[in-house]
Structure formats: C-alpha cells, structure tokens
Amino acid sequence: MITTNPRELTRFERIAIKKLVTEMCANFDREYGCLPLDCDCYMLNKWWSGNYCKYFQRSVLPIDPILEASLFGNKTPIQDTCSICNKPFIPDGRQFYCSTACKVEGNRHRSRERMRKKRLKT
C-alpha cells in the first residue's frame, strides 16, 4: 500500500494530514502528543511519503479518500458538488446530495417547483 518511490508531500497534503491527526485521531492529545508512544506525533511533522503511523493509516486516513488516493498513488475518486450547500462529496451510487439534510431540502425544492408548474397549467 506504500508507494515505492518516496516523494516530498505537497503543502495541501501536509495540511490535510495535520487536520486529520488533530481532529480525528483517537491516539492524539494536544497536551501529550501521541498517547501510545508517549511522545510528539510524528505525523504532524511529516514531509516525505513513506512510513505512516499504522493507526493513522488504517483508521484515520480512510476518512479522507482523496488524500488517501494521493498519498498511495491510487485512482482519485470522482467528486460531485452538492446542489444545495455546494460542498464537495464522493457519491455513493446515485447520490445527488451530500447529507440527509440536503436531501430533504432538495426534495422540498423539487416538490415546490413541481407544484408551481402544476398550478400554472390549470
């Protein structure tokens, strides 16, 4: 799963890694760093691809499939933009909205438009 040729991480990859570690990693504590290693988390100061924290690689990195694809050289998943909130998301099948709240709002808009057209016909 690790790329054979180590390369320097881009600025955006380093920012995304730092955000994932500080917000989503269960082993990270702001005061103590990496709890199992009892030292600073080495993922925060990572500049080159290659060795990753096993917990980060297995549990935290799948949260961001675009970052995972760029780090491991896989095919980047296709992203859509939610028509309600304009946030990018990776569709699952025929998914048009990023969340259930946006889906409810989108259905409300479509129903309103359908009823408006129906009233114009009569």
Summarised one tens digit per residue, pLDDT across range 80-121 is 888 888 888 888 878 888 888 999 999 999 999 999 999 998
- Indicate whether 1 pLDDT > 60: no
Between the alpha carbon of residue 19 and those of residues 15, 16, 54, 79, the distances in Å are 6, 5, 17, 20
- CA 55 to the chain's CA centroid: 17
Classify each residue of 66-98 as buried b or exposed e, where b means 16 or more C-beta atoms within 10 Å of its C-beta: ebbebbeeeeeeeeeebebeeeebeeeeeeebb
Helix axes of 65-72 and 11-24: crossing angle, nearest 10 degrees? 130
Output the pTM of the full model. Answer: 0.58
Q: 39-87 pLDDT, tens per residue?
A: 788 787 777 777 888 888 888 888 888 788 878 877 767 778 888 888 8
Distances (CA, A) of 89 to 28, 50, 80: 26, 27, 6
Going by the DSSP 8-state scheme, the letter that residue 48 receives in this structure is: B
Choice between 3 and 5, residue whose per-residue pLDDT is larger: 5
CA 63 to chain CA centroid, nearest Å: 5
For the chain, give every domain's residue range: 11-72, 80-121
